[in-house]
Amino acid sequence: MNIIQHQVIDFVRTTPVPHSNYRLYLDSVKSWLYEINEEGTKYELLSELIKHFKQEMDEKVENTLRPDKSMEIDQYKVLIFRLNDELNGIREYVSKKNFFENEKSKLDEKLDEILCQLQTLKNGQEIIYEDLTKELNEMKEFYFLNKKTWKELLIGKLFSMVNSGVISLTVSQKIVNIINDEYANLIDQI
């Protein structure tokens, strides 16, 4: 769990949702976000909050006999709609240096693609495969960083693995090429 997820969990825990008055809750959300200076961080917090409420709503739907008649589920829908509206308002101010949800999904797919291709390494080189898998999966937790910092972290991890002999320079370059296929020049060639 990263810092954004912790912040959202703390906020949800300390600020219960008054289902009868979602506007009051939206005011609380706006006050909470007002304390944050960075628009990208606000965007991440709000995205995570929406994700949290979608999960809660899905659980309610599963445990309700007639979800189409549930006032509580309707309130969740309205709250999520309003939070999405707030998110869209923030999005236009977010720097292009930060990751958006669709970019995160695409990078997740690319990292998973790399892991699938490296599955062939697993036979006979299980330690290397597990180290690399751990490092690449860990990168999925750092999208709250801006693109430049995320890129530098990935390059640092790759450099460290090449330097310690965990992977070869060729494997490192293949990883960079796979990611750059989707995001041209996100990572300059190593």
Q: Look over the chain and give the mean of its residue pLDDT values, rounded to a whole number.
A: 80
Q: pLDDT confidence of 149, banded at 50, 70, 90?
A: confident
Burial of 90 (0-12, 13-18, 19+ CB in 10 A): middle
pLDDT value at 94 more than 80:
no
Output 119 or 47, whichever has higher pLDDT: 47
Contact 105, 47 (CB under 8 A): no
Kindly give, in sequence order, each residue whose CB lies less than 8 Å from that of residue 63, ignoring residues fewer than 6 positions away.
Answer: none
Task: Report, as an integer, the average pLDDT of 61-81.
Answer: 87
64: left (phi over 0), alpha (psi -120 to 50) or beta: beta
Given a cut of 80, whether residue 190 has pLDDT beyond it is: no
Taking only Cα atoms into account, the Rg of the chain, rounded to an integer number of angstroms, comes to: 20
Average pLDDT (112-130) is 67
pLDDT (mean) for 25-46: 87
**Residue-level pLDDT at 55:** 92
Q: Report d(CA 25, CA 183) in Å as an integer.
A: 38
pLDDT average, residue stretch 161-175 = 80
pLDDT higher at 94 or 157:
157
Ranges 46-55, 65-74, 116-125, 131-140, most confident: 46-55
CA distance linking residue 85 with residue 87, whole number of Å: 5
Rounded average pLDDT over 128-142: 80
**Is the predicted pLDDT of residue 179 greater than 80, yes or no?**
no
- Has this prediction a pTM greater than 0.75? no
User: Please, which pLDDT band fits residue 13 given cuts at 50, 70 and 90?
Assistant: very high
